[in-house]
Structure formats: structure tokens, C-alpha cells
Chains A and B, each alone.
Chain A
Amino acid sequence: DTGVSQDPRHKITKRGQNVTFRCDPISEHNRLYWYRQTLGQGPEFLTYFQNEAQLEKSRLLSDRFSAERPKGSFSTLEIQRTEQGDSAMYLCASRRSGGRNEAFFGQGTRLTVV
């Protein structure tokens, strides 16, 4: 296992379309996080899973956003009816409980809404 992987790396979509991103965490990590990063900003927390349970959601996660982590393995983030303001880098991170509290990040999915 080489780390957290995200797919796709880049996505261009037209306004109003739905998009779905996938994250595969490091296999022994039970905690998974989604962050959003816009130009010139640091990443902002969106949501967090412990195993398959979604335990925390940011107010940034509007009703158009939904995240799942079936079976506590990979996770998907879906954005419905995309808007230009959704254009950003979407980062996934994972970590295991306890330990050094170190989160490992994927390379991100860059979304451009045109």
C-alpha cells in the first residue's frame, strides 16, 4: 500500500452536472477525512468518517454534497448540481486511531466547474 489515492486527479464539468470523487485510504486507517482547498487558502474541513460512520460534517457541506464510506474502506464524495463556487481542490486524508494523530493526505482531485 503506497498511501492515500484519489481519483480522478482532475475533473472539468459544466455547471449543473453531478460529479463523484473517490478516495482509497491507507488500508489500516479507520479514520477518513475530506477537505476542500481553494486558491490561496489552506484546506478546510468538510467531513469525517470513523469506519463506515460519518461522525462530523462542516457547515461548508451543503445539501448538494454527500459523502459515503461503505464497509469502512474507500469513500466517495458527490456534488450535485455543481456551481462555479465548487471549483476547488478536494483532498482526502486518513489516519488510524490513537498513535501520533498524523493524517496522511492524497494528491487531491482538482474540480473546475465551467
Chain B
Amino acid sequence: AQTVTQSQPEMSVQEAETVTLSCTYDTSENNYYLFWYKQPPSRQMILVIRQEAYKQQNATENRFSVNFQKAAKSFSLKISDSQLGDTAMYFCAEFQGGSEKLVFGKGTKLTVNP
């Protein structure tokens, strides 16, 4: 069974600093995708960044980047130059095409302090 583990229930960071959120997953599949979603308070979940498992190069999207360690089944998210608007719940998720569902971790609540 797929499992996604986020070991940090809460984190905080000062504005303009860098923070890394951890995620590990467990799958026996070779074809899968990994995602980080952001869920601001009382707002909808939006995609932050995605990684195809077959790509070795780490994905980057502006201030957001991942450290994808396939052998270790680790998929951490780095947020550089943190902004107040980054305050949100962050969910790591795995998608296996064969099962057509996203499996989410429990989330990390990130607070960016001024």
C-alpha cells in the first residue's frame, strides 16, 4: 500500500529565510509522480511543484525546489526567501497512474513570521 509520511507537524521560519519541509513515501511502483500542495487557511489547495519519478533532475518553480532522492524515497521541499503569503498547510502527495488517486501525507503547518 502507498504511504506518505510528513514527520514535521509544524514549522516556522522568519521572513526572507529558507525552510525545508520533509516527506518520505513508500511505493513499489516505478511509474509515479510526486507533488507538493499548499492549502492556505480557508482556501483551496493549490499545486506548488511536481516531480516525475523517472526524472533525476530536481524540479524547481521560482522560490520552490525539491530534493528528490529516489533510492531513499525522500521528497523534500525547499522554500527560499520565505514570504508571509507562504503561511499555509503543505501536503506531500504521491500519484500512481495505475490507481488514479493521490495519496497525501498528514501535512506540515508552516508559519512565516515577520
Q: Which residues of A does B touch, CB under 8 Å?
A: 3-4, 31, 33, 35, 40-45, 48, 55-56, 58, 91, 93, 100-108
Contacts and interface: CB of A to CB of B under 8 A. Distances in A.
For chain B, which range describes its interface: under 10, 10 to 19, 20 to 34, or 35 or more residues? 20 to 34
A56 B101 contact: yes
B44 A108 contact: yes
Contact of B44 (A35, A45, A48, A107): A107
8 contacts: A33-B100, A42-B4, A93-B102, A102-B35, A103-B47, A104-B47, A106-B44, A107-B43
Nearest to B91: A42
Contacts of A104: 47
Nearest to A106: B44
Interface of B: 4, 33, 35, 37, 43-47, 50, 91, 93, 95, 97, 99-107
A42 B101 contact: no
Contacts of A105: 37, 44-46
Contact of B102 (A43, A100, A106, A107): A43
B47 A45 contact: no
Contacts of B106: 40-42
A108 B99 CA distance: 23
A31 B91 contact: no
B101 A101 contact: no
Contact of A42 (B43, B95, B100, B105): B105
